[in-house]
Structure 1
Amino acid sequence: MTTPYQRTRSLVLTKEFLHRLCSLGDDVLPLTMVTEAEALLRHFPTLRDIEAAHKELPEVFGPVPPFQRVIQNPEILGILDATSQAGDR
């Protein structure tokens, strides 16, 4: 069962992930992926929206505490690391 904390954490980290994908640009990812990530972000709930949802439905959404912001998926982490290292050259 998903807890309110887990639901909120998922929203916050997904938004950060989409921002990171957009920042890679279309030289790393296909333009369609970057465009789709940007389109999803356009309508993604803000932290203020999530806080408001928490106040109205605390059994569904938790508060927005500071989360440890680390991508756990090694495949994605490898792509992001390789991209940042390529930009350093």
Structure 2
Amino acid sequence: MSPTRAGEFRAQTGEFWARAGEFRVRAGEFRAQTGEFWARAGEFRVRAGEFRAQAGEFWVREGELGGWAGGGGLVGPPLLFRESAGPGSGR
């Protein structure tokens, strides 16, 4: 697990957890204690915390984590993550 300003990213499973509302992302699924979430093949939207993704891109306002995810990694300011080839790698 690599801690981020918005929460933590689990590289081995490709999961991203954010503190605000406890957003959980895995293979295009959103689950949280607060707010409603919906997802469509590569496009994700969330009311609380403005967690958005499109074509494999993940953006979080709180913590300012942005970048792309696919083929083994999530890259974006201010930190860089590498996802190991395994569950969640998408390949």
| TM-score normalized by the length of structure 2 | 0.28
Q: Which is bigger in relative contact order (C-alpha 8 A, separation at least 6)? A: 1
| TM-score normalized by the length of structure 1 | 0.29
Which structure's residues are more often strand, by fraction?
Answer: 2
Structure with higher Rg: it is 1
